[in-house]
Structure 1
Amino acid sequence: MRFGGLSRRIYLAFLLAAVIPTAIAGIIGIVYSLNTLKRETLSSLEQEINIRTDNIARFFAQLSSELLYLAGAESLESLGKATTTHDGRSITLARTQLERDFMRFAAHYPHIYQIRYLAESGMETVRVDRKGDRTDVVPAHRLQDKSDRYYFQETLKLAPGEIYVSPLDLNVEFGQVEKPERPVIRFATRVQARNGGSAGLLIVNLNADILLDQIQQMADTRDGTAYLFDRSGHYLARLPGTAADQFAMQPVAQLAGEYGNPLIERVIGGEQGTAGISGHILAFAPVRFLNGQPYQTSSRGWALALAFPENRLFMSVFNLSALYVVLLASLAATAVGGYVLSRRLIGPLDDLTRETEAIAGGDFTRRVRIEGSDEIAGLGSQFNLMAAHLQGVIGKLHTHQGQLEAEVNARTAELDRERSFLAAVIQHTGDGILAVDDWGTCLLVNVEASALLGGLSRGQALEQCLPDWPLLATKAANTGEHRCEIDLGQRILALSITCTGEEASTGFVVVIRDVSEERRLADERRELDRQMFQVEKMATLGELAMGLAHEIGNPLAGMKAVVQTMRYDEEAPPYFLSTLERLEGEIDRLSGFLRTFHGFAAPQALLPTACNLTTVLEDVLFWTKKESRSKGISFNTVLDGIPPLHADPHQLKQVLLNLVINALHAMPEGGVLHIRACPEGAETDTVRIEVEDSGAGIPTDILPRIFEPFFTTRSDGTGMGLAIVRKITQDHHARISVQSEPGRGSCFTLYWPTARIPHD
């Protein structure tokens, strides 16, 4: 039967009415009695330790009085006189008398360990040692020099009649700690001579463990420990039940771990009281020296402490606690009786509750049997009728549930088939398909999409393969659909991104197709169209060239005939004949230029020879000298060991002349035109020729088109100069390249083959 509801309420009422008041009264009585006993015990402990400290103080006062009396003894005065007169016999008699006085003093105080008389130099003069019941006079050869000891130096600072009390210390003999170790307390005073001066020191060594014997008697009754502190950093202790000579003298700092620094500071600070810590009760009080005697100590004073286990100290308190066990047992018996009574009264209700919980758990066959004719029995009958009705209803529900489950299973199987079909289509389609959530994580990746995106798999972020995905997703979310192309270097992908719903958190479907091959074919077609256009242009140029050659060729032939006639005039000056010769050469070059135009339409035969580049360049510079001077342009020509070139001299001159004229046009404000030529390498048959200007340079966007026919940026240009240069270069199996930087000029470089000269 469970304990709850009405049963619990009846039981709690019983506890409130009977058990709890009795328990509260008993607990208050116990607590009050325990506290009273503890206070009485601690008060008694304080009184005991105060009595012990007073006894020690009286003992110190008595010992000090005896010491002062001994310091004024006649034997000491006699020894002082004999020492002054240096009379050996008198000194011996006086020392013997003093030794007898020391022996009687030691016999009167069995706790005395040593009595010594020291001269002002610190040398022991007379010394008596007590060991057990035997008292011995130390012979002269075993007397020691104690001038370096701290107690000797401290006592020298006192006036006669003052007492010095040392801290706890171990007795030292001949510079070594005496074994077994003996803790001692030294009482010392100065001996006054008759003339008012000092006649030496009188020192008594007191066994410190004798003091502990007195207080340990009180500690032993409760298995406690007695501590004697000198407050100079040491304490003396003896554990309960140990022998009289088994003591411990340790630094005070070692007790900090057991009792804590704050409590130890209170003890050695002169406070009085009791404290509980770590399961112990510590009672402590200072040892106050009596005011009737002037004392000088090496520290602030002494303290006595007694430590007792708390369980032993309060044993009587604990015995009192046992008296209340009977009360607690009575309360427990009352509580158990109340519980049994409440269970007997509330048993039928518990049965009804238990059966109700079974029906709530799904067992509708459960019924309850309650005998009698009271209200609870009627409640049991109604409960059984309700359980039977519920059992019938649940049976019908189970039948209907089976039908629904069969229908759901059929629909689920159909959906699984459709899903499998759709998954097969998605996985094997030629396009990549991705389903991406709102955070950019791939929920679906088919085989093609994984291959196109470098092994992308489900669960990875699409941004790892497509860095621009956040921007693309934003565009698709704003418009509902976004199409674009992404260049991944080796591939060009066409993306179709569709937002899967109107809300922003519905995700995206991405269809990816590789269009790299399509773009490549489109680029090849555009290049083919451009080449066809170039061929048509070249054909038109050829027709134009043939017309020009026909129209200009005849006048040039007439001009050449006139020049040749004038050259044969014997009266013409030599410089005029040289000029006519050059003019005839230019007419020939122009004729060759017309033939080059004709070559765009129909190839013409070259007449390559071993051509001297220096000679060709001199003619080029001669015909451009006038224009260069008018523009303030100077030439810088460097030709380093150039071998003969394999070239048609007229066409080579045409190439260089076109490049030089273009360079002059590029420098309208003047400048320097550099023409350099050198072999391409030691083992090659190519010469590199550079024509470099310092003009405005060629813009980057038009640099690829400068060799196209009819392309020019000058208003008076024909666009044929560089086209002819490339045509002649290609005919000679040479190469031409250009480097240009806007604002810094251009450099045209020719890579021309050398002539092969046979060796003898």
Structure 2
Amino acid sequence: MKQLRSWLAPAHTIHRVVPVNIRQTLLLTLLLGLAFSMLLAIPFVLYHRAESDNHLSLLQAEQERVIKLAAGAIHQELDTVLSDLRYLSQHNAIRNYLAHASDSRRLELATEYLGLTRQKRLYDQVRFIGMDGMEEVRVNFNEGNPEIVADPNLQDKHNRYYFEETLWLSPGQIYVSPLDLNIEQGTKDQQLKPVIRFAAPVADDQGSIHGMVVLNYLGQRLRDKLSALEGQAGKIWLFNADGYWIMGPTPEDEWGFVLPERSQRSLAKLFPRLWQQMEAEHSGAYQSKELWIQFERVYPLLGENAQPVAAHFARPVDADRYYWTIAVELSQPAMQAANIALLKKLWTAYGALTVFAFLVAGALALAINRNKALAQVVEKVVDNLPLLIAYVDAEQRYRFNNMAYERFFGLNPSEIYGKTMRELLGEPAYQAVHPYIEQALTGEAVTFERQLANNGPGMQDLVISYLPDRSPQGEVRGFYVMVNDVSLIKESDRRDSRRMLELAHVSRLASMGEMATEIAHEINQPLAAIAMYSAAGQRVLQGEGDRSQVKGWLEAINTQAKRASEIVRRVRRFAQKGEHEFGPVNLNPIIREVAALLDHEAGSQQVEIVLELADNLPPVQGEGVLLEQVVFNLARYALDRVRAQTGARRITLRTAFDAHLVYVEVCDTGPCVDPALGEHIFDSFVTQEGLGMGLTISRSIIEAHAGTLRYVMNPEGGNAFMFSLTREAQ
């Protein structure tokens, strides 16, 4: 639960102190939202236009398809009727009747007509009319219940136009009437019944015409077939050659050429421009504010592919002048309905995207204002940082710098902008940092320390970093400059170093005090030898011995004097206060010096000091006096530990190195340190040897040199201390 609260707790970041101007944010949201909405409207408008054009193209294609289907249906229907008519005018029943006219054969003919009517269900009437115009055989469809008409109900048709037209035909010719309404006994049916009359003269074997076969084709069947094709493309219109509707927009518009009360309902009267175009063109498209119409002229008697029939087949007369016009009406309301449906979808999508656009605009406006405020806060932070921050381009010209530059150089940012680093820093300082500038411009990040003069007195200790700025293509465009004034830190470090030197000097003096007896004993030996040889020389000079031995005794006195002098020099050098000098140090000579200093004390305790020093040991960066103090403290500690050992007493001083570090190891064969101490062995006053400060001082010195000092148990028994320092770069 505590972890969850830490996740939910607000972050203590700079964002919490960034003020956002709500009024500016709302205004920017409105402007961006309107701009986004206008940009979003462009693809929607283009899409609507493209979809409208595409929809219109599809509707036009559908109109053309419907027209083709309608033309095919018309040809199919009329071809069927013509085929039936050819059959009826040549079949055996009619030939038998013409050869021997009798009631039985007339009944046989009527029965044949009845079967055809029942089977085909295409014809309202199937008749045989004699040359006098009197119906001799007639079968009525009778609303789906075909029947043979009795003789008393047969009618005289000599005055009907189709009879008169057929009388003029020769065998092998067919008359086809216009598609009009059926008239019985001079009156139209109460229910309008569209019909087409197909008539063909019938001749005997000698070629004499005895009458005609007449088929009253049910035109409503054709209208129903065409109506079934209506759909998305629109309503089908069918015109006769005079521009009157056979199938029209409404039932009241149809049959104007038959019904006097509708005589004004023609294309020429209502749509004169469309009629003019239909008269001039066989097919085309007509567009007005109210209508979009595709039309095509069709010749139903020529067959679907306009292929001529065989020569022995009966053919309709004037088939090339018998035509209708099929039109498919696509009304503007229908088009607008589809357009409205599309607009509703687009408006819904556009509205949702507009809302989203305003949300994005709000987020963007908030981000812009927040980033603007954040930039101001960051600018204040950068200007108030105790760091010199700048950007330098590839030409080494300053393109940005914070206010710390004004405090350091006494120049405001506008005065520094555009200056080269040489102009700002001055020639000596520029030459000092020039190699690092070249490194940065090659793409390498560099950090270094230098002392540079500012606009005040004295020199400043600076840590300078150059961070390359690369383009997305990897080209170095310049570099960022970060300069940290570490003068106070460096001065503190210098004070700490001096205190460490003082502490190390005190430690050495204390060690000298502990070693005073051994040192006095070591110096007393050459002094005693000198006294003995000088006393012997005095006796010889007084005549008590052989004077030839004096020369040897003088040489011995000289040797012992030099030995005493070396002991005093070594002790004096170790005990004197060292200078603060940081530079390359070879640890092997230091280890040898320490071993020599402790050699007499170790010998008096029967302790062997073994040196295992690596050849060609690389130097390390450090202060020789302090590093000698570390080796002395570790060796002295080992000597104190090994005194309690009853067996072999040995101290080993060993050096080694690798590619990065130099190692110094001090091992002894004394009793192991209590494992419970662990790392506390380096704490002050923990050990009982000496003042209890030797290991503490040693670790502080090594860590000040960026190294490590650790204690490990010697695998061969006893204790081992090892410290490592970074080797000096070659």
Tell me: higher relative CO, structure 1 or 2? Use CA pairs within 8 A at least 6 residues apart: 2
Please, what TM-score do these two structures have when normalized by structure 1? 0.38
Please, what TM-score do these two structures have when normalized by structure 2? 0.40
